[in-house]
Amino acid sequence: MSDGHDDHGHGKQSFISKYVFSFDHKMIGKQYLSLVMFMAVIGGALAMLVRLQLGYPGMHSEFWAKLFPTGMASGVMTPEFYVMLFTMHGTIMVFFVLSLGPVSGFGNYLIPLQIGARDMAFPFLNMMSFWTALPGAIIILISFLVEGGAAASGWTAYPPLSAIRSAIPGSALGQTLWLVGMIFFVASFTMGGLNFVVTIINMRAKGLTMMRLPLTTWAQFIVGILGLLSFPALAAGAILLTFDRSMGTSFFLPHGMFIGDTLLPNSGGSPLLWQHLFWFLGHPEVYIIMLPALGFTSDILSTFTRRPIFGYRSMVYAMCAIGFLSFIVWGHHMFISGMSPFLGTMFTMTTLCIAVPSAVKTFNWLATLWKAKIRFTTPMLFALGIVSLFVTGGLTGIFLGTNAVDIQLHDTYFVVAHFHFIMAGAGLFGMFAAIYYWYPKMFGRHMNESLAKIHFWFTFTTYYGVFFPMHYLGIAGMMRRIYDPNTYDYLKPLQPVNTFITICAFILGASQIIILVNYFWSMFMGKKVESENPWEANTLEWSLPIEPGHGNWPGEIPEVHRWPYDYQHPDAEGDFIPQWVPPKKAVTK
Kindly tell me the burial class for residue 583, based on how many C-beta atoms sit within 10 Å of its own C-beta (0-12, 13-18, 19 or more): exposed
**Which residue lies nearer to another protein by CB, 118 or 418?**
418
DSSP symbols for 211-247: GGS-HHHHHHHHHHHHHHHHHHHHHHHHHHHHHHHHT
Does position 147 interact with another protein (CB under 8 A)? The reply is no
Q: Which residues inside 84-143 make contact with another protein, applying CB under 8 A?
A: none
Count of residues engaged in binding another protein, rule: CB under 8 A: 114
**Strand, coil or helix: 258:** strand
Cα separation, 167 vs 157, whole angstroms: 12
Which residues share a beta bridge with 576? Answer: 567
**Residues of this chain, 410-429, that bind another protein according to CB under 8 A:** 410-412
Q: Which of 407, 513, 516, 517 touches another protein by CB under 8 A? A: 407
* C-alpha 578: how far from chain center: 29
Stretch that binds another protein, among 32-40, 68-76, 256-264, 437-445 (CB under 8 A): 256-264
Question: Among 18-26, 346-354, 419-427, 535-543, which window interacts with another protein (CB under 8 A)?
Answer: 346-354
- Left if phi > 0, otherwise alpha if psi is -120 to 50, otherwise beta: which for 425? alpha
* Residue from the set 263, 510, 516, 517 that interacts with another protein by CB under 8 A: 263
Q: What are phi and psi of 567, to 5 degrees?
A: -105, 145
Among 67, 211, 336, 513, binds another protein (CB under 8 A): 336
Single out the residue of 3, 15, 247, 370 in contact with another protein (rule: CB under 8 A).
370
Position 584 contacts another protein (CB under 8 A):
no
Q: Give the angle 273-277-280 at the CA atoms, nearest 5°.
A: 135
Q: How far is the CB of 295 from another protein (least distance, A)?
A: 17
Per CB under 8 A, contacts with another protein among 446-475 are 453, 457, 460-461, 464, 468-469, 472-473, 475
Determine if 436 is a binding residue for another protein (CB under 8 A). no
With CB under 8 A as the contact rule, the residue among 168, 208, 291, 329 that binds another protein is 168
User: Residue 524 interacts with another protein (CB under 8 A)?
Assistant: no
Chain Cα centroid distance, residue 44: 14
Stretch that binds another protein, among 519-527, 533-541, 551-559, 562-570 (CB under 8 A): 562-570
Interaction pattern, residues 194-233, with another protein; x per rule: CB under 8 A: ----------------------------------------
Least Cα distance to 223 among 247, 182, 192 occurs for 192
- As a residue count, the chain comes to 589
- Residue 313 C-beta: closest distance to another protein, Å: 8
**Is there a contact between 413 and 333 (Cβ–Cβ < 8 Å)?**
no
- Cα separation, 295 vs 370, in Å, equals 19
Cα separation of the two ends of the chain: 33
List the x/- string, 493-512, binding to another protein by CB under 8 A. ----x---------------
Q: Which stretch binds another protein (CB under 8 A): 92-100, 360-368, 427-435, 546-554?
A: 360-368
Among positions 5, 165, 306, 446, the unique one binding another protein when judged by CB under 8 A: 306
Q: Which residues contact 532 (CB under 8 A, 6 or more apart)?
A: 542, 543, 544, 545, 546
Residue 281 touching another protein (CB under 8 A): no
**CB atoms inside a 10 Å sphere around CB 533:** 19
Looking at the Cβ atoms of 325 and 384, the one nearer to another protein is 384
Write phi, then psi, for 446 (nearest 5 degrees): -90, 150
Task: Give the whole-angstrom CA distance, residue 300 versus residue 282.
Answer: 28
Distance from C-alpha of 390 to C-alpha of 395, rounded to nearest angstrom:
8
Considering the complex, state which of residue 109 and residue 382 has its C-beta at the smaller distance from another protein. 382
Q: How far is CA 490 from the centre of its chain?
A: 35
Q: Does 579 bind another protein (CB under 8 A)?
A: no
By the 10 Å C-beta count (0-12 exposed, 13-18 middle, 19+ buried), 555 is classed as exposed
Among 95-103, 150-158, 210-218, 232-240, the segment contacting another protein (CB under 8 A): 150-158
Out of 287, 310, 432, 436, name the contact with another protein by CB under 8 A: 310
Q: Pick one of 66, 373, 527, 585: the residue that binds another protein (CB under 8 A).
A: 373
Question: With respect to another protein, which residue has the nearer C-beta, 538 or 552?
Answer: 538
